[in-house]
Amino acid sequence: SLRGYGQYNRLFSDRLFGYLRVDALHDAIADIEYRVGISPGAGYYFIKKENTSLRGEVGPGVIFEKQGDDSETYMTLRFAERFDHKLNERSKIWQTLEFLPQVDDWENFIINAEIGLETAITKSLSQRTYIQNTYDNQPAPDRRKNDVKLVAAIAYKF
C-alpha cells in the first residue's frame, strides 16, 4: 500500500483556522487502485500549548476512487480530530481520528484512525512507528471492512 497527504492550514486567529487537505491511497490488498480525497474546511484548536495540542476539523469533501472494478466520485463530509504531545525536543506522540460519510448515502463511510510515536533523526528526517486502522463500511468485493497496519517509516519535513 502507499498513502500520502498534504494539508495547508491558514490561521484566522490564535485558535481558528481554515485548511485545504489532499489525501491519496493505493492499497492492493484492499483492492483499492486509487482513492483521492480533497477537502477544504475549518478547524479549531481546543488545546494549544507549547507541548500539547488538540484540534478539531470539519468541512465538505470529494472522493475519487477505483475500488474493485468500480470507479466512482462522491461528496463527503469530513469530521476529524488530532492530538499531539511533545515528549521532549526529539520525540512526540500523536493520535488522529477521521470520519468520512458519503453525503447522499450515510451507509457508505470510511473511518481512519492512527496512533504513533515519532523520533527526530536530523532536523528534516524522523522515524515514525504507528498503528493505522481504516474501516471501510462498503469495501471491495471479497474484502474485509477493517484494515489494521503496523507501520515503521522515515518521514521528511519540508
What is the DSSP annotation of 21-57? Answer: EEEEEEETTTTEEEEEEEEEEEEEEEEE-SSEEEEEE
Task: Measure Cα distances from 8 to 42, 48, 130, 152, 158 in Å.
Answer: 11, 18, 23, 25, 13
pLDDT digits (tens, 9 = 90+) for 104-140: 999 999 999 999 999 999 999 999 999 999 999 999 8
pLDDT digits (tens, 9 = 90+) for 19-33: 999 999 999 989 999
How far apart, in whole angstroms, are the C-alpha atoms of residue 135 and residue 125?
30
Taking 90 as the threshold, does the pLDDT of residue 158 lie above it?
no
Residue type, 75: M
How far apart, in whole angstroms, are the C-alpha atoms of residue 10 and residue 63?
23
pLDDT digits (tens, 9 = 90+) for 65-98: 999 889 999 999 999 999 999 999 999 999 999 9
Q: Are strands 52-67 and 70-86 parallel, antiparallel or unpaired?
A: antiparallel
The predicted structure's pLDDT at residue 36: 97
Local confidence band at 37 (pLDDT 50, 70, 90 cut-offs) = very high
Taking 90 as the threshold, does the pLDDT of residue 157 lie above it?
no
3 state SS of 87: coil
How far apart, in whole angstroms, are the C-alpha atoms of residue 13 and residue 146?
38
3 state SS of 137: coil
The predicted structure's pLDDT at residue 150: 95
How far apart, in whole angstroms, are the C-alpha atoms of residue 39 and residue 112?
15
Global pTM reads 0.90
Taking 90 as the threshold, does the pLDDT of residue 55 lie above it?
yes
- Do residues 103 and 109 lie in contact, with contact meaning Cβ atoms separated by under 8 Å? no
The predicted structure's pLDDT at residue 1: 86
